[in-house]
Amino acid sequence: MSSKRSRPGEIHRRIIEVMKRFPDGITGGQIREELEKEGLPAGEQTHLDRRKRDLKKWFRIEKVIEPRDIGGVKRRVAVYRYKGDRDQVLDEGDIGLRLRAEVIHSAHGRCEMCGRTIGRHGIVLVVDHKLPKEWVGTNDRENLWAICEECNSGKKAYFKSVNLDPVLMARVMKYRSVHMRIGELLKAFGIDRPVPSYLIEIVSGESQDDWKKRLRELRYPPIGWEIDFRRWKDERGKSRVDYILRKWLPWQDDPSGEIRRFEKEREARNKARDELTSEEPLDPSTETDS
């Protein structure tokens, strides 16, 4: 999400011209053949795949896996179709080509947000910062994912609608306590504002099981926050989870320490109770939300 802009080069334009001549779609091999017929310089041929990947910055290219007759054999191959120019240059900024390729590759053709695939749905994947760059989201691998163009624009629209202060967000990331980072993120969105779970995960810097536990711990009596969650299906049927802050209280000096102390005391209490009775301990704060 940087503002770095670039323009298509000569070779990009030539690939597009070839694609336009094949409105039903053209394979990578055919593009190469067509360009060779036109006398493509040998030096350019080795970079053709990369050039082809670059195209989506300026043009809408549909890539679909289709059965094609290749030298008399039916094979499923990637077929490209030119769909038009973009109004705005896709904003993938300064993520290195190798890293970008790695992110796209490990998505296996599937949008990591909605689950639709290149093969079945004709989506185009873009590399996106989970935590936007304006909020000090990094170019680190764990902050990048491959999502489809529709999810990407939906995400941008949502972030625009919540209108968060980048300075505030940068401050959120500076807290050393994971509880405070999660809590301050929820506060930044505000009371009753849904916060997508992928954002909490990235801000927490922890694995899914761990951040969910940290979030539940904010509901413990020493912290006393009220946080709801909602599970919903997006328009493509993919299950999503948001967390919603209902009430927050000012932090104590060491919230993470307070939580650990509370857990220790509760454990000791439960143990003492177990020794007195054989009944299962009933403690509402051990409820899980999954």
Binding range to Zn ion, per CB under 5 A, among 89-97, 112-120, 214-222, 274-282: 112-120
Nearer to Zn ion, 51 or 110 (CB): 110
Query: 125, exposed or middle or buried, with CB in 10 Å at 0-12, 13-18, 19+?
Result: buried
The reply on whether position 114 binds Zn ion by CB under 5 A is yes
The reply on whether position 61 binds Zn ion by CB under 5 A is no
* Residue 220 DSSP symbol: S
Binding range to Zn ion, per CB under 5 A, among 5-13, 75-83, 143-151, 249-257: 143-151
Residue type at 257 in one-letter notation: G
Distances (CA, A) of 211 to 36, 60, 104, 204, 223: 53, 37, 25, 6, 16
Helices 255-276 + 178-189 axis angle, to 10: 110
The reply on whether position 148 binds Zn ion by CB under 5 A is yes
The residue with tokens 């625009």 is 160
Min dist CB 116 to Zn ion, Å, is: 5
Distances (CA, A) of 147 to 4, 102, 189, 227, 266: 20, 13, 23, 28, 43
Pairing label, strands 59-70, 73-85 = antiparallel
Q: Residues in contact with Zn ion, total (CB under 5 A)?
A: 5
Neighbouring C-beta atoms of residue 41, cutoff 10 Å:
8
Min dist CB 123 to Zn ion, Å, is: 6
> From residue 197 to residue 236, what is the string marking binding to Zn ion with x (rule CB under 5 A)?
----------------------------------------
Nearer to Zn ion, 95 or 148 (CB): 148
Nearer to Zn ion, 32 or 240 (CB): 240
Nearer to Zn ion, 116 or 214 (CB): 116
Q: In this chain, which of 151, 195, 199, 259 binds Zn ion, going by CB under 5 A? A: 151
Nearer to Zn ion, 116 or 181 (CB): 116
Nearer to Zn ion, 219 or 236 (CB): 236
Min dist CB 150 to Zn ion, Å, is: 6
Q: In this chain, which of 35, 111, 188, 195 binds Zn ion, going by CB under 5 A? A: 111
**CA 24-81-114 angle, 5° bins:** 120
Min dist CB 114 to Zn ion, Å, is: 3
List CB contacts of 156: < 8 A, sequence separation 6 or more: none
Binding range to Zn ion, per CB under 5 A, among 134-142, 144-152, 176-184, 259-267: 144-152
The reply on whether position 113 binds Zn ion by CB under 5 A is yes
Nearer to Zn ion, 151 or 185 (CB): 151
Min dist CB 91 to Zn ion, Å, is: 17
Continuous H helices in the chain = 10-21, 28-37, 42-45, 48-54, 97-106, 118-121, 149-162, 166-172, 178-189, 197-204, 208-217, 255-276
Nearer to Zn ion, 104 or 113 (CB): 113
Q: How many residues does the chain have?
A: 290
Six token digits for residue 270: 């439960």
Min dist CB 145 to Zn ion, Å, is: 10
Task: Write out the residues near Zn ion by the rule CB under 5 A.
Answer: 111, 113-114, 148, 151
